[in-house]
Structure 1
Amino acid sequence: MVETIRGTVHRTYFASPKFSAGVLHTEAGESIRFRGAFCASEGELVTLVGRWRHDPKYGEQFSVDSLSYELPDSPEGLIQYLAKHPAFVGIGEGTARKIVAHAASASHLDRLIRQDIPELHRQLRIPRATLESLREAWIAHSAENEVRTYLASFGLTHHQMETLLAALGTGVVGTLRTDPYQLIRYVPGYGFKKVDKIARAMGTPKDHVGRIEAGLQYIVSEEIASGHTWISGAQLLDKANDLLLLDTLDSRDVIQAVGERLLREGTLVAEGSAVSTSRFLETEQFIQSVFTQFGRLERPIETAPSPLSGLRVKQAEAYQAALRHSIVVISGGAGTGKTYVLGRLTRTFQEAGLRVALCSPTGKAAKRIEESLQQQGLSLEAKTIHRLLEYDGQTFHRESLSHPSDDPQRGGADNDDAFDVVIVDEVSMVDVVLMAELLRRIDFARTRLVLVGDHNQLPPVGPGNVLRDIIAHRLVPTVILNEVVRQAGVLKSNSMDVLSGRIAPTAGNDPAWTVVDAFQDPQPIQVYLRDLVLDKIPLRLELDPIHDVQILTPTHLGPLGTKAINQMMQHLLHGEVPRKFAVDDKVIQTYNDYGLGVMNGTIGRVVAIEGAPGGGYWIDFDGVGERLVKDEQIHNVQLAYALTAHKAQGSEFSCAVVLCHRSHFFADRNWLYTAVTRAARYCILLGDRWGLQNAAKKNDTIKRRTFLDLWAKKDAAPASPLEATA
């Protein structure tokens, strides 16, 4: 039950801008423990809104959802407020008592500090500099507290209020009153729906121009977040009309007028009927220009290549294309020999004295391809694309990957900073933004680019569909490997069968491929999964059930989603967990943190927990080492016993347990194929027969709207992108 408690912060055990814990003296004379996502200062009079919760270590605590600030209304409260607040430097308890004794009330104290510093200096003999510093801090803090209290009336959390204040200062109130939708532009994390909730609570009318502008931009941004790079003008109007609900007969006309103005101003851009932002239109224009200019450029390698013995027909074709062209794509499914061809090419390039850069979108994928080449006797460090381009979280600092035009040294150890060949593995995961950043740093007169991937896998998390667009429209020389080599084994062969819509049955006594599909309801699947991972796999396959096994599922929600499965696994392994994680929990980083040096998708293990509230967790991340992830950063870390196939893309696990049930109605062939190909040695498909067969047969190849595809099709478009089509 939500409660409101008013009192004075007596003590803080821990205080940071995003988390505080301490003791509050309430108006009723009680002392209570509190904790919450706000910064507490001793002596502050606050009104806390939240719920009582039991902490196994600290007992009953009041968990704070929101708060507001007030000046203490008693002399002793004012004394403690002045003496203990960190903003009032140089004001100890003795000085605070002198100041409060001189003032008759809180309001009189406020007037004295704001307007009568000379009087306080003269009467109390307090140094003028101390009083001036107090006045400056008092005014700033009072103004901020008034703003906090005002913002709290709209249901904002303390962290949200602090974010607004940090971005806009005390002028945030004026901004909210004139056009609250400006917050979307100025404050990270404030999207249309969050700001619209605040604005509507303030009484902002539905047809406010700022609201319509923000709604249109929100829809475009949501399309981009979904992987598209544009939306048709007609779709944009339809979605905006549904979102904004203007309650007027001419709502579409009103929205269209605002949309056309955004196009004229350049806030939105259009290519025929396709509407987007200038960033994504220009990004794909650049990619297309590179492919058009250099995609067919032939630069035969000067040294005689090694013999083609050992290569199959398509493999030999891919090998020769990479030695002939400036840009080439090699794509193929599991077991078709992409890595073998890549190794042969790398050896040939190195024997020719050429410097080779090997990279991949994720650290896990980079490590995997590096190890695969080592097995072929090649020593070549693989990096993430971000690391190769020297990205620091904000800027790509690498200016060029190629040799300067006047550089007499071409290859060899004399020029460690330049490359003759750039090889990108797992290119299906590369979105248009990252592809453009890579292409900008290659001089194709001096450096060739080899793109290797599997177009059958899921498209990138980010916008665009570069690999599929290249293959669909032959934008650059492309070779598809389509023959599963004999040595690939039953796992690779059966994985490729998925692309034909077929689920191969359990492979006899070979544990590499197992199908368990006799279930109907989700609960028995959970029970079987528990026994499978914790008992059967360790016993029969001799694998670590946590670190060698990965559960993959199509969804986050539902009884067979990542959230439910992760909670189940954590509870089975650790019982009740008082904090977010327990020691030995398997976790994954979900956001690039360049301060920690941990990238999105990196899996780790919790090795220790800091004892103090807010202290955080020590996590041993794969390929990175141990890092202290503090409580204010821990929202970027999640349990990883179960992952979606998208999150696991680029990684490989000794054993993949793939869940697919009829409740996963949108799971399709590409999802299932991506999931089963995460298995390096063993794949176990678990679910019901209909769910698995439906996913395999559902060839809903993800249709992404991209400019590369649009231009290749030479799509006709109306003159006005926002022509209403009722």
Structure 2
Amino acid sequence: MDKLVHIKSILINKVLHHNVANTYTIAIGKETSSGNEISIVGNFKCATGEKFNFNGKWVFHKTYGRQFEVHGVEKITDLDELEIRNYLTSFDGIGPSRAKRIVDAFGKNTLNVIKKEHTRLVTIGIPSNIVQKVHNEIVKNDVVNKLVEGLRPYGISLRKINQIYETYHEDSLNILETNPYKLADDISGINFSEVDYIAQDKGIEHDCGFRIYSCIKHALFLASENGHTYLPADELIKKVNAILSFKNQMPVDNNYIMKVMLHMEEYKELIIEEDTAVYLPMYYFAERYAARKLYKIRESKYNIPLNKDLDEIIKEIQDEMGVEYAAKQQDAIKSALTDKVLVITGGPGTGKTTTVNGIIQALLKNEPRTKIELAAPTGRAAKRMEESTGKNAKTIHRMLEYKPFGDELKCGRNEDNPVDADVLIVDEYSMVDIILLDKKLRALENTTKLIIVGDVDQLPSVGAGNVLADLINSDVISVVRLDTIFRQAETSPIVPNATLINEGQMPNLDHKDFTLIEESDENIVAKLIVDEYVRLIKEDGLTLDEVQILSPLKKKTVCGSKSLNDLVQEAINPSVKGRPEVVFGSTSYRIGDKVMQTKNDYEKKCFNGDIGYIIDINKTGQDPIIIAKFDDQEIEFIGREEIMKLELAYACSIHKSQGSECKICLIPAVLSHKKMLKKKLLYTGVTRGKAVVKFFGTKEAIEYSVKNNDEDARYSKFYLRIQR
């Protein structure tokens, strides 16, 4: 690593570029000792006329020549009167005349007056709105530069540093010194582990109340990422102490942790129900509201009366569409016309799509003016729903008219502005978590009919809750289970094999479209998968959308999706000299790569699990820009933080594949994935395939999955609340 050097007393003559989002700056400065001009680049805030000491290193840019790359900043406040006047003219509304008037009035104390007594400038004729803007900007520059110096060594990005200032303003530095744990509570993307390092360096005690408070919230957040809406109090205390005592730190007394929890409950930071279940408030209120709202919908009268005989409606539809509904399908259609809330569940090939089409036709035959909304959790699921029904379908987010509010979701459709629908039909409901259910129900009138469709045997949602299973297990909501496998599905080996897996039996692996390539060496397994992927794309002419590698595990093994992605990328989209490429960490991003968004970004309208393709890369500026196409929209990802929310997606985890389908699925079946080899995971992976499923590995791994019915239980009280 190059040794950092220190350059002193650099006066900024001109700011050539400043990126507001990440504070990347290109400026021309002058060494006051020698008068030499230098080019300065780096992440800091400055204005013409300001003076700094810089830590950094000299670099050579092929276009711009010798530059000083800034790593640390110290602003010099001891400016002479001419330097202060020049500095003030860098602000909008302050020309040379006003700058002279200000400095004549306050002399070398001008900047202190602006920071601490800025209203005094109004008394010499400077408009108050300009005074306020100059004050805000000078204070912000000072604080942000100090935050950069204090936080960059801990890997806190400039975007997050700006978020810190926008949250706390002048109090930012005080909070950083006295309670850095507050950053984890208030700033999206900063977690407990990051601030714990900062706090340790500042000498904050290991049993400090701030630390325990923040760790409790962190433990509950981690639990929500594992699907839980709450944790039992004793289990939460164990998890908190495990985190607190990480890296040989002293454990904290359990009674003291409980005392902090009770204090948090008093201030409504936690909900502790019946002295045992500890909730973050958002999950408690989501469960409670959703259960109450479902009760109100069930008990409220539907606006449209039943105008025709149900059997007559079904006969008309069968005659017109040339179909014959199974008994359970007829039950579902009838329930859709008579019940306010209905769940339809069934595996692949049981006719869920046909049933939904029948329900739509039945609703319209009963009353042609019925307003029906169709929705699904993901764009691809909504698109499939639209194709299969011939009706417009939206993602749930789009139906709710979401609006970005930081990293949170604010909905244009809510209790005050509900969705304009008599009936809402939502598909792929196994993917819906408790927060999305809460927001969706808030956007429905009590008179609206809700029809839910999904396969309860698939993996539950990535987010907290076990919504579809809870609705079914409540024994309060009307449920129809489709169980007839139709003839067109029987020709595919996927459907009967999925049924066998679901019943805990070994699938038939002898069919050419449902097979196992046996190999115990996992390095060879990975090579076989990559070779097959390349063959299907390059020789058979399939598209990247038609072939998907699905792995039980993301990392840690050569057959995890991360490793397989790297291998496939090198095989079908290798690095080419002269072609733009972005590298962050161990991931290279290239034009043509298939990528997946891994975090919800409401501003970009791009959501966790969305699949796209990189169509352009721009590296002319300091921050690289990747442009990716997701269905019908092109989205820019600027800089490290945004780009690293994209993962290569030639391979993905089975969890991430929920809601998607592809023609051919390639699945590693290896015992190093033993921790993840479970029946429900295998069933979910297999049912992603439409035509072909190929395993690579061993029968032992598949058999272990089939026999392992030990699903991870989720802590949720939603089904109990529905029953009340």
State TM-score, norm by structure 2.
0.81
Contact 2:51 / 2:79 at 8 angstroms: preserved in 1? no
Q: Cα 1:479–1:2, aligned 2, differ >3 Å: closer, same or farther? A: farther
Contact 1:50–1:63 (8 Å) recurs in 2: yes
Find the counterpart in structure 2 of residue 395 from structure 1: 410
CA distance, structure 2, for counterparts of residue 297 and residue 134 of structure 1: 54
Q: 1:338 aligns with which of 331, 345, 352?
A: 352
Say if 1:448 and 1:564 are closer, same or farther in 2 by CA, change over 3 A: same
CA contact (8 A) 1:423 1:449 kept: yes
Match of 1:283 in 2: 286
CA distance 1:675–1:530, shift in 2 (3 Å): same
Q: Matches of 1:453 and 1:346 in 2, distance apart?
A: 17
The one-letter code sitting in structure 2 at the alignment partner of 1:285 is R
Local SS of the residue matching 1:228: coil
RMSD of aligned residue pairs (Cα, Å): 4.2
Cα pair distance change 1:317/1:261, threshold 3 Å: same
Structure 1 CA distance for aligned equivalents of residues 79 and 531 of structure 2 = 63
**Corresponding residue for residue 480 of structure 2:** 479
Structure 2 residue aligned with 1:721: none
Query: What is the aligned partner in structure 1 of residue 308 from structure 2?
Result: 303
Q: In structure 2, what is the Cα distance between the partners aligned to 1:139 and 1:262?
A: 34
Shift of 1:277: 2.6
1:386 aligns with: 397
Match of 1:362 among 370, 375, 378: 378
Normalised by the size of structure 1, how large is the TM-score?
0.80
Contact (CA 8 Å) 2:79, 2:108: kept in 1 or not? no
1:482 positional shift: 2.4
Please name the residue that 1:589 is paired with: 597
Tell me if structure 2 keeps the 8 A contact 1:298–1:324. no
What is the identity, as a one-letter code, of the residue corresponding to 1:635? M
Give distance in 1, aligned partners of 2:25 and 2:306: 66
Counterpart of 1:697? 707
Measure the CA separation in 1 of the matches of 2:634 and 2:168: 37
Q: Residue by residue, what CA displacement relative to the aligned partner does 1:133-176 show, whole Å, maximum 9, x if unpaired?
A: 99846565345534544555767554443332222123222223
Shift of the 382–302 alpha-carbon distance from structure 1 to 2, 3 Å rule, reads same
Alignment deviations for residues 533-591 of structure 1 (CA, whole Å, 9 cap, x no partner): 11245434x412x2321121122212222322222222331226631422111122233
- Give the structure 2 partner of residue 20 of structure 1: 24
CA distance in 2, matches of 1:351, 1:436: 31
Residue identity matched to 2:254? R
Contact 1:296 1:476 in 2 (8 A): no
Which consecutive unaligned segments of at least 5 residues does structure 1 have?
103-107, 118-125, 374-378, 404-416, 715-726
SS at 2:450 equivalent: strand
Shift of 1:450: 1.0
Cα separation, 1, equivalents of 2:530 and 2:221: 40
Matched with 1:120 is: none
CA distance in 2, matches of 1:197, 1:552: 36
**Distance of 2:38 and 2:703 partners within structure 1:** 57
- Equivalent residue number for residue 566 of structure 1: 565
Q: How does 1:172-571 map to 2 (within 5 A)?
A: 172-245=172-245, 251-272=253-274, 273-292=276-295, 294-295=297-298, 301-304=306-309, 305-307=313-315, 310-352=324-366, 353=368, 354-373=370-389, 379-393=390-404, 394-399=409-414, 418-444=420-446, 446-488=447-489, 489-508=492-511, 510=512, 512-521=513-522, 523-536=523-536, 538-540=538-540, 542-544=541-543, 546-558=544-556, 559-571=558-570
Paired position in structure 2 for 1:650: 659
1:707 aligns with 717
Query: Which amino acid in structure 2 is aligned with residue 592 of structure 1?
Result: N
TM-aligned CA deviation for residue 504 of structure 1:
2.9
Q: 1:24 to 1:563 in 2, by over 3 A?
A: farther
| Cα shift at 1:707 | 1.0
Write the letter of the residue equivalent to 1:561: G
TM-superposition CA deviations, 1:32-74 (whole Å, max 9, x none): 998766667787645456999x99999999987x533343999
Note the C-alpha offset of 1:218.
1.9
SS where residue 262 of structure 2 aligns?
A: helix
Amino acid of the residue matched to residue 210 of structure 1?
F
Range with bigger deviation, 497-506 or 546-555:
497-506
Residues 427 and 83 of structure 1, relative CA distance in 2, 3 Å threshold: same
| Cα distance, 1:26–1:202 mapped onto 2, change above 3 Å | farther
Deviation for aligned residue 1:81: 12
Tell me the secondary structure at the aligned position of residue 674 of structure 2.
coil
What is the CA deviation profile of residues 107-132 of structure 1, one whole-angstrom value per residue up to 9, with x for unaligned ones? x9965654699xxxxxxxx9989998
Contact 1:431 1:462 in 2 (8 A): yes
CA deviations on 1:260-304 (whole Å, 9 max, x unpaired) are 222233221122211113332222122223444555889773323
Q: Report the Cα distance in structure 1 between the residues aligned to 2:58 and 2:710, rounded to whole angstroms.
A: 46
1:637 offset after TM fit, Å?
A: 2.6
Contact 1:583/1:609 (<8 A) preserved: yes
Length, aligned pairs only = 671
- Residues 599/128 of structure 1: CA separation in 2 closer, same or farther (3 Å cut): closer
Q: Distance between the aligned counterparts of 2:204 and 2:550, measured in 1?
A: 45
2:686 alignment counterpart: 676
Secondary structure of 2:205's partner?
coil
**What's 1:414 paired with?**
none
Secondary structure of residue in 1 paired with 2:284: helix
Residue 169 of structure 1 corresponds to which residue in structure 2? 169
**Letter matched to residue 604 of structure 2:** L
Secondary structure at the residue paired with 2:403? Answer: coil
**In 1, Cα distance between the equivalents of 2:593 and 2:180?**
42
Gap change, CA 1:216 and 1:571, over 3 Å in 2: same
CA contact (8 A) 2:581 2:617 kept: no
TM-superposed CA distance for 1:207, in Å, is 2.0
Cα 1:588–1:34 change in 2 (3 A) is: farther
Secondary structure of 2:197's aligned partner:
helix
Deviation per residue, 1:193-248 (Å, 9 max, x gap): 22222112111112222222222222222212221111111112222222224977
Q: Which moved more, 1:635-644 or 1:3-12?
A: 3-12
1:293-324 CA-partner distances (Å, limit 9, x unpaired): 55588977332322277112222222222222
Is contact 1:359–1:385 with CA below 8 Å preserved after alignment? yes
